[in-house]
Structure 1
Amino acid sequence: MRQAMDAGLDWLARSGPGTDARGQASPVFGPGDGNLANYLWDGSRVQIVDFEDSGYSDRAFELAEITEHVGSWVEHPLDVPAFLEHFDLSPAETVRLWESRRLLSLVWLFLPAGEERENPRNPPGTAERQAGRVLELLA
């Protein structure tokens, strides 16, 4: 886990504001919480139920929120490539998606790593599994 944290912090230090594609991404009003439990599918449409973290965002960041949220892989893994095939992203959005996925994977490494052992929110081994995800995204 330490290796993933160090690699993530190194990537973060190298990723200055000049590498960000935010200015070229499609703006949206986003829920800001990629937990799949917040998206209700009735067979024909998706409804979003949690707007606690909502606000100005962009498509690429919101897609990264969904793909990297711990709820998208810890129990019932989301098929990320199949999911992302449904979105026609511009080249700038593709760059922004990868930057955001790396950033959010790092967030999801630190959150479970800092949980209290007596009262964990995630299943045992989540932080260790997330460390592998971080290293894959940084490769």
Structure 2
Amino acid sequence: MIFNKIGACMDAQASKHTIEVRSDVVIKQYRRLDYGQPEREWRALELLNEYSPGLAPTPVNADLEADPPTVVMSRLGGAIVKGPIEGQLADALAEAVTGVQQAIPQHVLERVPARAGHPVELLDQVRSWWAAAVPADAEPAVRDAFREAGSWVEQPMLEGVLAQPGTPVFGTGDGNLANYLWDGTKVGVVDFEFSGRSDRAFELAEVVEHISVWRNDAAGMTAVLERFGLTADEAARLTECRRVLALYWLVRSRGETKTAQAERVLALL
């Protein structure tokens, strides 16, 4: 199910790997192998190092047959992005996202396996949760969001829209803001366990709508998104992908976060 593909990359880091951070390298050992996480990460590091060195950690060595599988990579400088996303930081984030997506030449990207998770699978997962997801004592905004989104999410045409191929890019498979490290000048990107061939709109939607973004800054990645020149088709696909991802997070969130996420859903609808 899509939770195991997209959702798993949004779970607590401790649930899927252990990390040893040294002065010059990071040693990552994988406890989850269900979607080829070590192979995906190593492939991504090698490809990005070849075509866009410095954007991601440099691959040092890997033992993918070990128990547990282990990948050693260089340690990037910088700190996790926190606080308002604007100005130079927004520029650097947009550059990093674009850099990952467009680094790999198309003739090489065609041979890269698809990322873990697909928009249609995510739609199916949200639909399967929907009927049992409305809390009986929900706040008015939450009830409104579930009512309005319920009509939207059941539209038969959505599968066809989301199944259409978008602009091919290399995707990280994870929109968590903690994967972007800011050193005051540029942003580096880490965590490629669910990476692979994807499409531009879906990858942008996952970055923009990830709940970590909205918990950090109420304006989210709006300033970053404004820096992308999307075609009309990309913009339309982005809207639908954002809605599905926002609904995913509405179902999963709790407490005050659920009310805030409900307001996100209503705004997108």
TM-score, normalised via structure 1 length: 0.80
Residue 260 of structure 2: aligned partner? 129
Kindly tell me: are residues 62 and 136 of structure 1, through their superposed partners in 2, closer, same or farther at Cα, counting changes over 3 Å? same
Q: How many residues end up aligned between the 2 structures?
A: 127
Q: Using the alignment, how far apart are the partners of 2:236 and 2:168 within structure 1?
A: 15
SS in 2 for 1:87: coil
Unaligned segments of structure 1, at least 5 residues: 114-123
Equivalent residue for 2:197, pick from 56, 64, 68: 56
CA offsets 1:81-135 (integer angstroms, 9 cap, x no match): 321121111111101110111010000101114xxxxxxxxxx410111011101
- Equivalent positions of 1:34-113 (< 5 A) are 34-113=175-254
Which of the two has higher C-alpha Rg?
2
Alpha-carbon distance, 1:4 to partner? 1.2
Q: Cα distance 1:70–1:34, how it changes in 2: closer, same or farther (>3 A)? A: same
Alignment of 1:32 with 2:32, yes or no, is: no
Kindly provide the CA deviation profile for residues 29-55 of structure 1, in whole angstroms up to 9, marking residues without a partner as x. 211211111012334433221112222
Match of 1:20 among 136, 159, 162: 162
Deviates more, 1:75-84 or 1:101-110: 75-84
Query: 1 or 2 for the larger relative contact order (CA 8 Å, sep ≥6)?
Result: 1
Q: Do the aligned partners of 2:205 and 2:238 also contact (CA within 8 Å) in 1?
A: yes
| 2:22 equivalent in structure 1 | none
Amino acid at match of 1:13: E
Question: Which has the higher mean CA deviation after the structures are superposed, 38-47 or 57-66?
Answer: 38-47
| CA separation of 1:34 and 1:78: change in aligned 2, threshold 3 A | farther
* Deviation (angstroms), 1:18: 2.9
Please provide the CA RMSD for this pair.
1.9
Equivalent position amino acid for 1:80 in 2 = M
Contact 2:173 2:196 in 1 (8 A): yes
- Say whether the 8 Å CA contact 1:35–1:66 is kept in structure 2: yes
Verify the 8 A CA contact 1:27 1:59 in the aligned structure 2.
yes
Q: Is the 8 A contact 1:21 1:93 kept in 2?
A: no
CA distance in 2, matches of 1:81, 1:21: 26
Specify whether residues 56 and 6 from structure 1 end up closer, same or farther in structure 2 by C-alpha distance, changes over 3 A only: farther
TM-score, length basis structure 2? 0.44
Q: Is the 8 A contact 1:21 1:95 kept in 2?
A: no
Whichever residue aligns with residue 17 of structure 1, its letter is E
Give CA-to-partner distance per residue, 1:43-89, whole Å, 9 cap, x none: 44332211122222111111111111111111333453321121111
Give distance in 1, aligned partners of 2:222 and 2:194. Answer: 25
